[in-house]
Amino acid sequence: MWYNFERMTKNYRLVYEIVREQTRGAHLAPADVFTLAKKKRQGIGFTTVYRALARLRELGLVSEISVPGAESAYYETAGPAHAHFRCEECGAIEDIDYALDPNVVKEIARKHAIAVRDVSLSLRGKCRRCTDRAASPAK
């Protein structure tokens, strides 16, 4: 997606750069973004960060992830479709290389006479680390 970054305020650009700097698979809560932004620009406020995330989401530059059981929404750089997994034990959120088949989405839309704009798929359970830790004998 093309966007004229010169027209974006310096605070919004900062928030976008913070999200974009994260490695693929990193998921930041608004509080995480605020903490990182505060280190780079002392006077930035939480409300500014929150509004910037909302605007960047509207522009399609970041994705908002709502995972059941998580304390808040998380944000990541917009990219290819994928699912998310949340560990119910440690709270970790991981990217899962999976997307619903577009034909399935089209069929659901047709069957229910709806227009699907976006698909968000999340899974939950126990991550590998927690599963391994549970299987290891206590020391």
2: CATH: 1.10.10.10
Residues 50 and 1 in one domain: yes
Residues 128 and 112 in one domain: yes
Q: How far apart are CA 19 and CA 78, in angstroms?
A: 10
Give the pLDDT confidence of 87-104 residue by residue, as tens digits: 999 988 899 999 889 999
Owning domain of residue 122 = 84-139
Give the pLDDT confidence of 20-36 residue by residue, as tens digits: 998 777 899 999 999 99
- Rg (the chain; Cα; Å): 18
User: 19-41 b/e with 16+ CB inside 10 Å = b?
Assistant: beebeeeebbbbebbbebbeeee
> Rounded to two decimals, what is the model's pTM?
0.74
6 vs 136, higher pLDDT: 136
